[in-house]
Amino acid sequence: MGVAQHQQNKIIYDKMNFTTLSSWSLSPNSSLIPPLALFYLVPPHVSSFQTLDKAPDYVTDVTPYFFILILLEMITRWVQGLPRLHLNDSIGSLSAGMFMLMLNLVLFQSIELVGYVWVYNNYRLFSLPWDSPLTWWIALLGVDLAYYWFHRMAHEVNLFWSAHQAHHSSEEYNLTTALRQSSFQRFGSAWFYLPLALFMPPTHYLVHKEFNLLYQFWIHTECIGTLGPLEYVLNTPSHHRVHHGRNRYCIDKNYAGVLIIWDRMFGTFEKERDTKIHYGLVHNLKSFNPVWVQVHHYVYLVKKLFSAKSFSECVHILFKGPGWSPGKPRLGEPHEIPEIPHDTTKYNPPVPLWVTVYHFYNFAVLLVASYLLGLIKSELPYVVALCAVLYFLYSLTCIGLIHDHHPLGPFCEIMKLLILISCDAYFGFYLSESLLIQGMRVFAMFSLIVWLRVLFKQVKGKRD
Ligand SMILES: [Zn+2]
Ligand SMILES: [Zn+2]
């Protein structure tokens, strides 16, 4: 996603030699559209497009509103007396979102769109008119139904769960959790939307997939109770809290994206109960390392495959539920899901205040830098963009390691600072000599001294 994605869409459009006709007169740049897009409230006549290059990048346009709403939620939580957000968890969630965006920048951006356009161009049975409101509504329902089945399979098929579990790996439930996205999910999800390519113009697929994703942002909150009659039709914070719960009654329920009607129709609906919901995975991960969050279930899966006694058992391990083992039903035994003890505590290793402030600063810099990279990526040699992305991902990993109290945390942080200082010394003449850059340089040097001291103490402590 991002500006780069928009440019990529244009490239795809050129490559695919997509049909060009005269433009329907629209005003998609209205400043009201981004916040309305968060609630799927953009009407058909301003969000139907004839060609992919005309479709705005709604996700990028909405990004500033994510942070405004996160801030509003923090204030509301304080007013309502709910616990404060944990910085380690929130940075972990935002890191997962950044991981996905940065991998998109250099590796597999728009792969699903390429597949969709290819099927549409070569195998479509017919095409619905792009400028009909009816097409827009059919696309809303079609994309949402495809999302329901993808999401259900992401929970019921171990291979797909390996990617999707990243979204459920937080023990907290707030708007930052919504941004805790899987980096690899798209390889599984793309297939579920392909039937739409037999008749639905790619512009509608693209726009509604973005609206569907954006709608799911605001429902990740504990600040909103229930919404009256809307609860019958829409996916709401209450319904999605159940989906994120690890209480026994919450498991494998409420897969909806926008409309909860699919869960009601296909028998997976569960109403929120009065008992406290505990969020996260059935067996919680207990790590803020963003790489481990994305890959740990794949590692578990490979180990399980090696321990399988036959080829057919391997197939069952991959394509049955995460709770399956020989002799059990497809989705495992519900009574084996552990009850949550009353005295359960969340994973929250304490760090000194200066580390919290240091990580907040580092994360903010990374956020701005990755946004700028997205803007200028097309002007950079690929290898430079790739190195920058790898450095950003490594930096996010350092934050996670230190939050986890991992013994390698200080060492990795020192290496990160050395790479930064060396690159600045070598390429620094490209950067402006503004006061801000000078200040950041001094801060990096100072940080290096501080972390060397931490590492020295750590080594000395081990020797003693
Ligand atoms: Zn899910
Ligand atoms: Zn969610």
Q: How far away, in angstroms, is 254 Cα from ligand 1 center?
A: 8
**Average pLDDT of the residues in 200-216:** 96
Alpha carbon of 165 to ligand 1 centroid (Å): 7
In a domain, 244, yes or no: yes
Instruction: Please indicate, yes or no, whether residues 17 and 147 belong to a single structural domain of this protein.
Output: yes
Among the candidates 226, 243, 266, a domain finishes at 266
Range of the domain at 136: 3-21+30-266
pLDDT at 285 over 70: yes
Give the residue-averaged pLDDT of 88-95: 92
At 42 the pLDDT is 92
How many angstroms is it from 220 CA to the middle of ligand 2?
Answer: 6
CA of 401 to the centre of ligand 2 (A): 25
Residue where the block lists tokens 């319904």: 239
Burial (CB count within 10 angstroms: exposed 0-12, middle 13-18, buried 19+), residue 34: buried
Which-ligand-closest: CA of 163?
1
Question: Coil, strand, or helix at residue 173?
Answer: coil
Ligand 1 mean position to 162 CA, how many Å?
11
pLDDT class of 254 with cuts at 50, 70, 90: very high
Q: Does 381 lie in the same domain as 250?
A: no
- Residue 400 pLDDT > 80, yes or no? yes
Q: Return the SS3 of 430.
A: helix
**Average pLDDT for the chain:** 88
Continuous segment of H or E residues that includes residue 12 = helix 3-15
Residue 284 lies in a domain: no
3-state SS assignment for residue 245: strand
Q: What is the pLDDT of residues 128-140, one digit of tens each?
A: 999 999 999 999 9
* Closest ligand, as measured to the CA of 160: 1
Q: Find, among 185, 99, 135, the residue nearest to 370 by Cα.
A: 99
pLDDT at 14 over 50: no
Ligand approaching nearest to the C-alpha of 175: 2
Residue 201 and residue 73 share a domain: yes
CB 383 within 8 A of CB 111: no
C-alpha span between 320 and 76 (Å, rounded):
41
User: Do 398 and 262 have their domain in common?
Assistant: no
Indicate whether 290 belongs to any domain: no
- 283 CA to middle of ligand 2, Å? 17
What's residue 322's pLDDT?
93
- Count other Cβ atoms within 10 Å, centred on residue 318: 16
Give yes or no for a contact between 343 and 181, defined as CB atoms under 8 angstroms apart.
Answer: no
Q: Is residue 308 part of a domain?
A: no
pLDDT band at 276 (very low <50, low <70, confident <90, very high): very high
Number of domains in the chain: 2
Q: Which ligand is nearest to the CA of 185?
A: 1
Res 9 pLDDT > 70: no
Q: Which ligand is nearest to the CA of 251?
A: 1
pLDDT for res 431: 60
pTM of the model: 0.88
Task: Please report the pLDDT score of residue 6 as a whole number.
Answer: 47
pLDDT above 90: percentage of residues in the chain: 67
Quick one: pLDDT at residue 108?
A: 63
Question: Is position 272 within any domain?
Answer: no
Q: Please name which ligand lies nearest the alpha carbon of 216.
A: 2
Distance 164 CA to ligand 1 centre (A): 7
What pLDDT shows up at residue 334?
A: 83
**How many residues are listed for the chain in this entry?**
464
Do 367 and 259 fall into the same domain? no
- Cα 100 to averaged position of ligand 1 atoms, centre (Å): 17
- Judged against a pLDDT cut of 70, whether residue 85 lies above it is answered with yes
In a shared domain, residues 43 and 179: yes
Question: Residue 168: which of 220, 209, 218, 214 has the closest Cα?
Answer: 220
| Ligand located closest to 181 CA | 2
Ligand at shortest distance from the CA of 170 = 2
Q: Is the pLDDT of residue 417 over 50?
A: yes
Over residues 337-395, the pLDDT tens digits come to: 888 887 788 999 999 999 999 999 999 999 888 888 877 877 888 888 889 889 999 99
Six token digits for residue 330: 């497809």
Answer yes or no: are the C-beta atoms of 145 and 304 closer than 8 Å.
no
Is the same domain home to 262 and 358?
no
> How far, in Å, from the CA of 338 to the mean position of ligand 1?
19
Ligand number, closest to the Cα atom of 155: 1
How many A from CA of 386 to the centre of ligand 2? 29
Question: CA-to-CA distance for 159 and 191, rounded, in angstroms?
Answer: 14
Question: pLDDT, tens digit, for every residue of 116-166?
Answer: 999 999 999 999 999 999 999 999 999 999 999 999 999 999 999 999 999
Residues 249, 357, single domain; the answer is no
Backbone dihedral angles phi then psi of residue 314, each to the nearest 5 degrees? -60, -45
Residue 299: inside a domain: no
- Nearest listed ligand to the Cα of residue 255: 1
Distance between Cα 257 and ligand 2 center (Å): 9
Domain end marker among 244, 266, 288? 266
Q: Is residue 330 part of a domain?
A: no
Ligand 2 center from residue 288 Cα (angstroms): 18
Return the minimum-mean-pLDDT range out of 23-27, 61-65, 247-251, 321-325: 23-27
Output the CA 242–ligand 2 centroid distance in Å. 10
How many Å lie between the centroid of ligand 2 and the Cα of residue 231? 17
Which of 221, 242, 266 terminates a domain? The answer is: 266
Give pLDDT tens digits for 161-187. Answer: 999 999 999 999 999 999 999 988 888
Is the pLDDT at 49 greater than 80? The verdict is: yes
- pLDDT at position 18, please? 37
CA of 240 to the centre of ligand 2 (A): 6
On whether residue 320 sits in a domain, the answer given is no
Q: Are 245 and 196 in contact (CB under 8 A)?
A: no
